[in-house]
Structure 1
Amino acid sequence: MAAPICVARIGAAHGVRGAVKLWTFTEDPLAVKHYGPLMTKDGARQFEVTHVREARDHLVATLKGIATREDAERLNGIELYVAREKLPETDEDEYYHADLIGLAAVNAADEPLGRVTAIHNFGAGDIIEIAPPQGPTMLLPFTNAVVPTVDLAGGRVVIELPQEIEIEGDDAQP
C-alpha cells in the first residue's frame, strides 16, 4: 500500500463552536470534503469534514465530533492525510510531492548529487531540496530547465545545475 498523502493541516480554532482554520495542499482546496475521512499520518485518528467554507487564505471547517473551541484548539497543527488511491491521477509533468521525496538526484552525466528531501513553495514557485551525501543542502527552482527529467519508475530526478549557486555555511566562498 502506498504511503498516505498529506492534504491539509489544521490551524487555530475559529469561533466558539468547534470550527477550525484549515490549510489545504490540494489543487482544489474544497476537495478535502470529498475524500472521506481524513486521518493522521499514523492512522490513529480520523476526522470527517462536515462543513467547509472559503476564507481569505484558508478554509474554515467543521469536523464531526468537534463541538467546542477547546476541542478545536487541541487539534492545532495536526496534519491530515488520505490514502493515495483516493486522489486523482496526476497529469503529465505533475507530481505529488510524496512521490518525489527520497528520489536520487543525479546530473546529466548520471553522477549522484544526493537525494530529494523536500519540495517547498514560499510563494514564488516550487523549490526542490537536494541533500548531498556531505555538505549543505541545495535549494533549486523546480522548473523544467533545472529538473528536466523526473523518472519515478527509475527512482531519480535529473538536475541541470544553474551556473551560479550560492551556498551558505562554512564552505561559502565570497
Structure 2
Amino acid sequence: MTSPVLAVGRVVKPHGVRGEVVVDVRTDSPELRFAPGAVLGVQRRGAAVPDSLTVTAARPHAGRLLVRFESVDGMDEAERLRGATLTVGADELEATEDPDEFHDHELEGLRVELPTGDEVGVVREVVHTPGGELLSVRTPEGVERLVPFVAEIVPEVDLAGGRVVVDPPEGLLTDD
C-alpha cells in the first residue's frame, strides 16, 4: 500500500524572469520541506508539469516563500507551475512528540462519536483557519458540520480505535 500524499504548498505565480515561484506554504515544517535538495511531488491539472521537483533555494517573502527548483530556469517554465500543488508522502513526515498533536491525515476518516457512543459522522478533513483548526465532519445524512478541534469539545482522539469523541455544546451539530 502506498503512503497518502499530503500537500505542503501551492505555487501561486512566477516571480521574476529566472524561474523562481511564489509558494503558499501548507506545512508546519517549511524549513524541512523546502530545504535545498528536498524532492517534492507536483500535482496540476491541465498543464504538462514534471512528477517531482528538487528544491535548490527558498527564502521568505511577504508571508510566503520564493522557491527555485532544478530545471525551472525561466518565466515560461515557472508559469506552467502556477496553481500546482507541491506534495510529500505521509511516510516522509516526522512523528510528533506531543501525544495531543496529530497530522491531518491521521484524523481524516476517523469515526466521530458522542461520549454516549452515538455516531455523529466521519472526519472528512481538518480545516486550518486563523482562529484554529476545525474538524469537517460528514454526518450519515451527508451534511457537513464544523467542529472546533479543542480539548473542551474534542476530549478524546483514539487513533488505534479509529475514533474521535466529541462533546459539543448545544446546537453545534444541528441547524437550530
TM range (shorter): 0.7 to 0.9
Q: List structure 1 runs of 4+ shifted beyond 4 angstroms.
A: none
**Within the alignment, does 1:48 sit opposite 2:50 as a pair?**
no
CA change 1:128–1:153 in 2 (3 A) is same
2:156 is matched with 149
Q: Structure 1: state its 5+ residue gaps.
A: none
CA distances 1:4-37 after superposition (whole Å, capped 9, x unpaired)? 3222222111111111111222223222134731
Between the aligned partners of 1:143 and 1:93, the Cα distance in structure 2 is 10
Q: Which deviates more from structure 2 when the two are superposed, residues 144-153 or residues 83-92?
A: 83-92
How many corresponding residue pairs?
168
2:111 is matched with 104
Say what the alpha-carbon RMSD is for the aligned residues. Answer: 2.0
Return the offset for 1:166: 7.5
Please, which of 30, 36, 39 is the counterpart of residue 38 of structure 2? 36
2:47 is matched with none
Identity of aligned pairs, percent?
A: 30
Letter in 1 for 2:25: T
Give secondary structure in 2 for the equivalent of 1:13. strand
TM-score, L = length of structure 2 = 0.86
Return the offset for 1:137: 1.0
Return the offset for 1:41: 5.8
Contact map agreement 2:114 2:166 (CA 8 A) in 1: yes
Q: Structure 2: state its 5+ residue gaps.
A: 45-49
Between the aligned partners of 1:161 and 1:54, the Cα distance in structure 2 is 39
Contact map agreement 2:134 2:149 (CA 8 A) in 1: yes
Superposed counterparts of 1:128-139, under 5 Å:
128-139=135-146
TM-score, L = length of structure 1 = 0.87
2:64 is matched with 58
Please, which of 125, 130, 135 is the counterpart of residue 132 of structure 2? 125
CA change 1:41–1:89 in 2 (3 A) is farther
